[in-house]
A = this chain, B = another copy of it.
């Protein structure tokens, strides 16, 4: 029986969607524990009453310090206290990271926790890591990110021996900035299944099982993929709406468009995973659907079953000897 702390407040969609998602994920083996206002209709789930809410725009460190009784901080603290085995929050990413660093602390040997985001690419999920936790990195950080991303892909996404690529500006090893050049050498010398560099154009096409980069580049790339999809579909809708035949055609391709959206659905994987802490932390999208929350809770429980945190620790300790 795995207890997963769920921060029910702070989602842009409101608490009801989070509660509904948690309820969907509840099973004999998975017990979501809600953290949120005492007023909340918990739909039969366990509810820990909290009095504060961290807003999306609050400064992470300030929010963490000032709001010890927020649903976000209390949910993370539940993992630190052993009351839950993992935590899911649809809230402020920076605040979750700050709370995780202080309350859960890093795994031994982890230099920097990183954010891993499974992108629904052509061949299956592509785990982008770091997607934004560390704006400035050193090459050895990228090696750790790759190692953590590979463990995540193996244990949580069921990918045996994940292929790893480094996001850079050309496929040749000598293409890149100083950080990428040095990270390339470390990755090539590691025991990971490193397949060289990938470029931005490969991300959605399915560059690799794990795509490693610094948190600045990763965040820009992730948001570029998301924004380009959104804008392109807007453009297409506008052009289709511009003529009567277009509108008719648009109706006929509606099932195809629905399948396309399902294929690209970021909710399939629940959100972003914060790797490298003594506890599994999932940051669901701020406007997560119940389905996204449910998937996040299930993946978090799966991570506990597979002892992802322990495996990360073991792998990183091995690597620490090697570096």
Interface residues of A (CB under 8 A from B): 122, 132, 135-136, 167-169, 176-178, 180, 199-205, 214-217, 219-233, 235-236, 239-240, 242-243, 245-246, 248-257, 259-260, 263-264
Q: Give 7 CB contacts A-B under 8 Å.
A: A200-B220, A200-B223, A203-B228, A205-B227, A217-B217, A221-B221, A242-B256
Does B231 contact A122, Cβ atoms closer than 8 Å? yes
- Contact with A223, one of B176, B199, B264 (Cβ below 8 angstroms): B199
Complex alpha-carbon distance, A199 and B169, angstroms: 19
Q: How far is the CB of A133 from chain B (nearest CB, A)?
A: 10
Does A259 contact B231, Cβ atoms closer than 8 Å? no
Question: Chain B residues with Cβ under 8 A from A199's Cβ?
Answer: 220, 223, 227
Task: Assess A256 versus B243: contact at CB under 8 Å? Given A220-B167, A221-B200, A224-B203.
Answer: yes
Q: How far is the CB of A12 from chain B (nearest CB, A)?
A: 15
Q: How far is the CB of A125 from chain B (nearest CB, A)?
A: 15
Task: Assess A253 versus B255: contact at CB under 8 Å? Given A177-B136, A200-B219, A239-B260.
Answer: no
- Contact with A240, one of B167, B228, B251, B256 (Cβ below 8 angstroms): B256
- Contact with A203, one of B177, B227, B254 (Cβ below 8 angstroms): B227
Complex alpha-carbon distance, A168 and B231, angstroms: 19
Does B256 contact A253, Cβ atoms closer than 8 Å? no
Complex alpha-carbon distance, A200 and B243, angstroms: 31
Question: Chain B residues with Cβ under 8 A from A216's Cβ?
Answer: 168-169, 176-177, 180, 217
Q: Most chain-B CB neighbours within 10 Å: which of A167, A201, A202?
A: A201
Question: Chain B residues with Cβ under 8 A from A177's Cβ?
Answer: 135-136, 214, 216
Question: Chain B residues with Cβ under 8 A from A231's Cβ?
Answer: 122, 204-205
Does B235 contact A232, Cβ atoms closer than 8 Å? no
- Contact with A252, one of B132, B203, B239, B245 (Cβ below 8 angstroms): B245
Does A225 contact B228, Cβ atoms closer than 8 Å? yes
Beyond A236-B260, A243-B255: 19 further Cβ-contacts under 8 Å?
A: A122-B231, A135-B180, A177-B216, A200-B225, A201-B223, A201-B224, A201-B226, A203-B224, A203-B228, A204-B231, A205-B227, A224-B225, A228-B232, A232-B233, A232-B260, A239-B259, A239-B263, A248-B249, A248-B252
Instruction: Identify the closest chain B residue to A137 (Cβ).
Output: B177
Complex alpha-carbon distance, A224 and B231, angstroms: 14
- Contact with A235, one of B200, B249, B263 (Cβ below 8 angstroms): B263
Complex alpha-carbon distance, A122 and B233, angstroms: 12
